[in-house]
Amino acid sequence: MLTIEEVRPDTGTCKFCGQIFALTLSDEEWAEHLEKTGLSGETLGDEIATLRCKCKEGAKYRMRSESLFACSEIIEGTFRNEFPDIADLLQSVKGTVYGGHTVSKIVATLPGDKGQATISYGKDGMKVEYKKVLLTGASTGF
Question: Which DSSP symbol is given to 19?
Answer: -
Query: Residue 127 has what pLDDT?
Result: 96
Q: Is pLDDT at 14 greater than 70 in this prediction?
A: yes
Given a contact cutoff of 8 angstroms between Cβ atoms, the answer to whether 23 and 10 are in contact is yes
C-beta neighbour count of 25 within 10 angstroms: 14
Q: CA 83, 86, 92 angle in degrees (round to 5)?
A: 145
pLDDT in tens, 57-115: 999 999 999 999 999 999 999 999 999 999 999 999 999 999 988 899 999 999 888 89
